[in-house]
Amino acid sequence: MNPETKICQNCKKDFTIEPDDFLFYEKIKVPAPTFCEECREQRRIAFRNERSLYKRKCDLCGEIVVSRISSDKLYPMYCKKCWWSDKWDALSYGREYDFNKTFFEQFKDLLFSAPHISLLSSNTVNSEWVNQETDDKNCYLNIGGHYNEDSAYNTYELYGKDCFDNFWIFKSELCYENINCERCYKTLFSRDCFDCVDTVLSFDCRNCQNIFGCAGLRNKQYHIFNKPVSKEEYQKFLKDNPLASRKNLLSFKEKVKQIWLSALYRDKFIVKSVNSWGNFINESKKCQNCWNAEKVEDCKNLYVAASLKDTYDATSYGWGELCYEGAHSVGLYNSKFFLYSVGGGKAGNRQSSFLEYCYAVMDSHNCFGCANLRNKEYCILNKQYTKEEYEALIPKIKKHMEEMPYIDKRGRIYKYGEFFPIEFSPFGYNETAGQDYYPLTREQVLENGYSWNDYESDMKYEFSDYEIPDDIGSVKDDILDKILKCEVSSKAYKIIPMELEFYRRMGLPIPRRAPLQRHKDRISQLLPRKLFKRQCQCEGGQSVKRESQSVYKNTIKHFHGDDSCPNQINTPYAPDRPEIVYCEKCYLAEVV
């Protein structure tokens, strides 16, 4: 079997389907995709509303709750308590399959009829404003994490405590404004740091403590701008240069940019893994085009995934096997084209299984085209069938999907084997993670046939006549009553009590940007989810000299001696970026 090149229906670019891909599609009995992998990922995350949260009434009990769904949406919304209760029956929204209409039209009608749950969070205590989180206590505006306490404004925080404004933080405490840091304590404004304590404005450091403005250190303490100092010198430096002053902080942020750029950058972060490519892959085997993936095997096109096997095209998904084109779910087996669906949880527990084209289907089996359904099996469009009836009807529906496909306004064709069209998303494109990773203007969204949400709540804000002090020491409790104006977006925001307490405890200035803008700032710092072919920059005893780029002097002789490194690399660092990028072998020779 040979590779096959296709043209994406959406972006019109070429993409390749490899022989192993065809074998996978044959195994799970689906046709090859007609959208490229990037456009497939865009479709999935265009259904993920993470942080556009609103106050509105539950359409069943009338209680005012926090919801992902704004009040202007035409479909019903139930609070978590009502949605999980026996006060309503999802089967009452079921309908006969109509062979005179396309499947996708019928599914959309069901999707916008059956009640949606307000938030996807569970087992939380005093954490009303978290979404897609479990087992949180005293948390606020945390997204996509688990087992956290006294934390706020984090995306993908796991097992954290007293952490604010981080992206991907794991088993950490008292951390602020970090990206991709694990097992850290009192770590601030840092990136790709592991097992660090009292670490500030540092990059790619491991097992370090009491370091400031450093990069590429291992097992060090008391360093300032990569230079060793005594304990007394370090403490005096902190006393003389408090980060409590915003002016000082901004000055140091500018200074450390050059420190970070003078360090080495690993071509990609793949550890304890074999036959894998992508970035931030850990303890995995045979995974291709995977990003932020852990303990996955024989997988491809994963974006934030854990404990998966034989799975292609999944986003924010964990603990599953033999799945395809699914997102924002956990615990499924042999399922395809699903969103927000849940099985019994982690590996080893029961799983939902054999779900196809399902949205928010929980603890169920053998369901096709269902939405907002719980504890059911052998259902089609939320209508109950016997096992025999179900198995007889499904092949007819798939054939009908082939013969009568859904065609959108741009002429994109959706037969069996294609994921849901973006225009079926219950959210405006600008409300979703699609806008984070594939930003579009309002005009572009509408031109593509997607929806845009212009909803604004009835609450109108009048900005306070208040100037935020430069130093946290000058900030009084009255700031908690002020309506602040974001310096970039002009959006209103407030400082909450737990946040103010954290800034005071850590000696940090009040942020001048709203939480959503701070999230966007962190997203803008992430590496792209694509690889670029380039040459390792190690050239004998130093890095290649490039205009406006630092030169790194090697500390030892590498395997290639005085010659340039012959290794070609595939890396998320594009060739025109300013970082000094070494292949794995040269990088490890220097920093480990």
Task: For 426-495, give the DSSP string.
Answer: SS-GGGSTHHHHS---HHHHHHTT--------S------S----SBGGG--GGGGG--EE-TTT--EE--
User: Tokens 């024989």 — which residue?
Assistant: 298
Q: What's the chain's Rg over C-alpha atoms? A: 25
pLDDT band at 93 (very low <50, low <70, confident <90, very high): very high
State how beta strands 542-543 and 568-571 pair. unpaired
Q: What is the mean pLDDT of residues 398-407?
A: 98
Tokens of 590: 């220097």
Contacts by 317-323, CB closer than 8 A, 24 or more apart: 318/346, 319/343, 319/345, 319/346, 319/347, 319/351, 320/351, 322/27, 322/28
Tell me the per-residue pLDDT of 5-34, one tens digit each, with 9 for 90 and over: 999 999 999 999 999 999 999 999 999 999
Q: What is the pLDDT of residue 499?
A: 98
Q: What is the pLDDT of residue 547?
A: 81
Asked if 432 and 425 count as a contact pair (C-beta separation under 8 A), the reply is yes
Phi, psi (rounded to 5 degrees) for 486: -60, 135
CA distance 261 to 257: 6
Q: Is the dihedral of CA 155, 158, 164, 166 positive or negative?
A: negative
pLDDT band at 469 (very low <50, low <70, confident <90, very high): very high
* Amino acid type, 180: N
Q: What is the pLDDT of residue 348?
A: 40
CA distance 284 to 309: 10
Asked if 514 and 486 count as a contact pair (C-beta separation under 8 A), the reply is yes
Q: Is the overall model pTM greater than 0.85, yes or no? A: yes
CA distance 467 to 488: 16
Q: What is the pLDDT of residue 585?
A: 96
The answer, yes or no, to whether residue 338 has pLDDT greater than 70, is yes
Residue 553: Cβ within 10 Å count: 8
Among candidate residues 567, 374, 55, 218, the one with its CA nearest the CA of residue 202: 218
Tell me the per-residue pLDDT of 242-297, one tens digit each, with 9 for 90 and over: 999 999 999 999 999 999 999 999 999 999 999 999 999 999 999 999 999 999 99
* Amino acid type, 170: F
Q: What is the pLDDT of residue 350?
A: 60
The answer, yes or no, to whether residue 507 has pLDDT greater than 70, is yes
Phi, psi (rounded to 5 degrees) for 257: -55, -45
Asked if 208 and 200 count as a contact pair (C-beta separation under 8 A), the reply is no
pLDDT band at 461 (very low <50, low <70, confident <90, very high): confident
CA distance 297 to 319: 12
Q: Give the whole-number percent of the chain exceeding pLDDT 70.
A: 98
Indicate left, alpha or beta for 253 from its phi (over 0: left) and psi (-120 to 50: alpha): alpha
User: Tokens 């304890």 — which residue?
Assistant: 272
Angle between helices 387-403 and 103-111 in degrees, nearest 10? 120
Contacts by 12-19, CB closer than 8 A, 24 or more apart: none
pLDDT band at 592 (very low <50, low <70, confident <90, very high): confident
The answer, yes or no, to whether residue 3 has pLDDT greater than 90, is yes
**3 state SS for 539-571:** ECCEECCCCCCCCCECCCCCCCCCCECCCEEEE
* Amino acid type, 82: C
Among candidate residues 511, 515, 20, the one with its CA nearest the CA of residue 246: 511
Q: What is the pLDDT of residue 347?
A: 41
Q: What is the mean pLDDT of residues 329-348?
A: 84
Asked if 412 and 9 count as a contact pair (C-beta separation under 8 A), the reply is yes
The answer, yes or no, to whether residue 457 has pLDDT greater than 70, is no
Q: What is the pLDDT of residue 345?
A: 47
State how beta strands 285-309 and 277-282 pair. parallel
Among candidate residues 186, 143, 185, the one with its CA nearest the CA of residue 508: 186
Residue 384, strand partner residues: 379
How far CA 251 is from CA of 114, 242, 294, in Å, comes to 53, 11, 37
Q: DSSP strand E in 257-374: where?
A: 264-266, 270-271, 277-282, 285-309, 312-321, 324-330, 332-333, 336-339, 352-362, 365-368, 371-374
Q: What is the pLDDT of residue 548?
A: 77
Provide the terminal-to-terminal Cα distance of the chain, rounded to the nearest Å: 42
How far CA 457 is from CA of 42, 49, 61, 489, 492, in Å, comes to 28, 17, 21, 18, 13
Q: What is the pLDDT of residue 459?
A: 65
Asked if 372 and 360 count as a contact pair (C-beta separation under 8 A), the reply is yes
Q: What is the mean pLDDT of residues 133-144?
A: 97
Residue 172: Cβ within 10 Å count: 27
The answer, yes or no, to whether residue 167 has pLDDT greater than 60, is yes
Phi, psi (rounded to 5 degrees) for 21: -65, -45
Contacts of 235 by beta carbon, 8 Å cutoff, 6+ apart: none
CA distance 183 to 252: 24
Among candidate residues 340, 377, 345, the one with its CA nearest the CA of residue 360: 340
Q: What is the pLDDT of residue 549?
A: 86
Q: What is the pLDDT of residue 258?
A: 94
Asked if 103 and 323 count as a contact pair (C-beta separation under 8 A), the reply is no
